[in-house]
Amino acid sequence: MRFQTVCFFIFVTTAFGADVDNETLVTFPDGFLLGAATASYQIEGGWDADGKGVNIWDTLTHERPHLVVDQSSGDVADDSYHHYTEDVKLLKDMGAQVYRFSISWARILPDGHDNKVNQAGIDYYNNLINLLLDNGIQPMVTMYHWDLPQKLQDLGGWPNRVLATYSENYARVLFKNFGDRVKLWLTFNEPLTFMDAYTSDTGMAPSINAPGIADYLTAHTVILAHANIYRMYEREFKEQQQGKIGIALNIHWCEPVSSGDVAACDRYLPGRPLEIFAHPIFSEEGDYPSVVKERVDAISAEEGFTTSRLPKFTSEEVNFTKGTYDFLGYNYYTAVMGQEGVEGESPSRTRDSGMIQFQDPNWPGSASSWLKVVPWGFRKLLNWIANQYGNPPIFITENGFSDYGGLNDTNRVLYYTEHLKEMLKAIHIDEVNVIGYTAWSLVDNFEWLRGYTERYGIHEVNFIDPSRPRTPKESAKVLTEIYQTRKIPDRFVD
Ligand code: GBH
């Protein structure tokens, strides 16, 4: 009792001198959007329903099933193609204000090109969008969450720059059909992750083994595609539709092992994963960060390449790309420790970064080898983004935890409450401009190469039952309480 009274009167002084009381510190600001996220291939099923074309995940799971740990596929998954009304009901029951989902390119354009539009695909997303709006839930659409139409992979996929134009044409179809109702758009989900799909023949689709080359080519195409889509929206739709466009980027927080390793982490953040996408779009000067250009150019030359493995933007492209955002989408999961040193094969992006990374064995784990629970990294990373890019609006497009299943997901509950508290500190104490949050994921789903063995859902899905029933886990109940009260319940606050 006495302790609580004391706590109530403790004020935290922010860097800007603002006082934040304890109640505010655990409360979501007015206008902050709360919701949940999914992706098309991971939940929809209906892989060949009603004229959908084949995509690279259909190809991987059908032709190289051994690459998926349980040899499963997204052929049916949560069957959201037939059960989307149940997904909307889950969102509604939670008090979610926003639903982030992705559109399957090949369901809309079976061959990837805009000369042939599949009306059944348009109808499916129209129904979903309309039902969300009827229930007071804002749709947030990811245009691309890794399921490239196979016909475009047949042309080489993302390393082929022509995809920067084809993506723009695909996006135009989306704006034309859905832009009257969809006001929050993400061009790409985690380009950092799908550039890695071109670095190993046992990795994510399309599983192509050209590290240090095809990954940079992929990044280059994706950045230009993003800019093309943003500028096209400005020219053709923005005035009328008034939507906002971002890109969902991911990066683990990098904690230097010692003070001598600060530079290594500084290279990791700009170099290896995040800034390669963020710098051209969000920085004032545009282009790749100079540390990336210098290192990759120099290492390429040492390796005997006549042409640097890092493609170059023209100055027109730098200007065209700079500032093509209304907000930054950010997926936070975990952290790494970084140390000066060289690892990885030659050539590779890992080697180019000049950093060795590992995770502290004391960090609590999850069902995913890479996912350790490091909530303080979330706050640090949000501050890093805010400092680096002049405090842009940041939407947390993913944050979540994996286990092996079960309704009593105590560790997931802890993961969410601890991360939300760190995010609220970033908002209230550090004055980072975070505007929304969608938990990954609304439902258990096809976890890519881990199949159905790792579960990220706040709702359990029974994948044996043909009707794929959904059941709230403990985490869904706690998030419901949080979304409805718009604060972290006292029992999770120390
Ligand atoms: C997100 O990626 C995705 O956007 C989402 O689709 C996915 O379901 C979710 O996370 C959970 O994984 O197996 O050691 O080679 C998070 C970033 C990048 C983390 C790829 C896992 C593979 C690590 N992911 N990474 S490993």
For residue 43 the two structure tokens come to 């939940």
pLDDT tens-digit readout, 236-248: 999 999 999 999 9
Q: Is 481 marked active-site? A: no
Q: What does 74-129 look like in DSSP terms, one character per residue?
A: SSSTT-HHHHHHHHHHHHHHHT-SEEEEE--HHHHSTTSSTTS--HHHHHHHHHHH
Handedness of CA 30, 36, 40, 44 (dihedral sign): negative
d(CA 160, CA 156): 6
- How do beta strands 328-331 and 335-340 pair? unpaired
Residue 270: its pLDDT value, please? Answer: 46
pLDDT at 15 over 80: no
Ligand 1 atom closest to the Cα of residue 448 is: 8
* Given the residues 398, 422, 454, 460, the one annotated as active site: 398
Domains of the chain, earliest start first: 11-489 (3.20.20.80)
Residue to mutate (ligand 1; options 78, 101, 193; most atoms within 8 A of CB): 193
pLDDT at 17 over 50: no
Residues with CB under 6 A from ligand 1: 39, 189-190, 193, 250, 331, 333, 369-370, 398, 440, 447, 456
For residue 60 the two structure tokens come to 């991987």
Residue 494: its pLDDT value, please? Answer: 87
Percent of the chain as helix, strand, coil, to the nearest 5: 45, 15, 40
For the residues 408-435, what does the mean pLDDT come to? 98
Residue to mutate (ligand 1; options 190, 332, 456; most atoms within 8 A of CB): 190
SS3 call for 331: strand
**Average pLDDT score, the chain:** 94
Nearest CA to ligand 1 atom 22: 370
Residue 6: its pLDDT value, please? Answer: 36
Residue 265: its pLDDT value, please? Answer: 86
Ligand 1 atom closest to the Cα of residue 39 is: 6
Report the candidate in 332, 331, 327 with the shortest Cα–Cα distance to residue 392.
327
Amino acid at 419: H
The Cα angle at residue 263 between residues 272 and 261, in degrees rounded to 5? 105
Lowest-pLDDT range of 107-111, 251-255, 452-456? 251-255
CA of 258 to the centre of ligand 1 (A): 27
pLDDT at 269 over 70: no
- Percent of the chain exceeding pLDDT 70 equals 95
pLDDT tens-digit readout, 345-398: 999 998 998 889 999 999 999 999 999 999 999 999 999 999 999 999 999 999
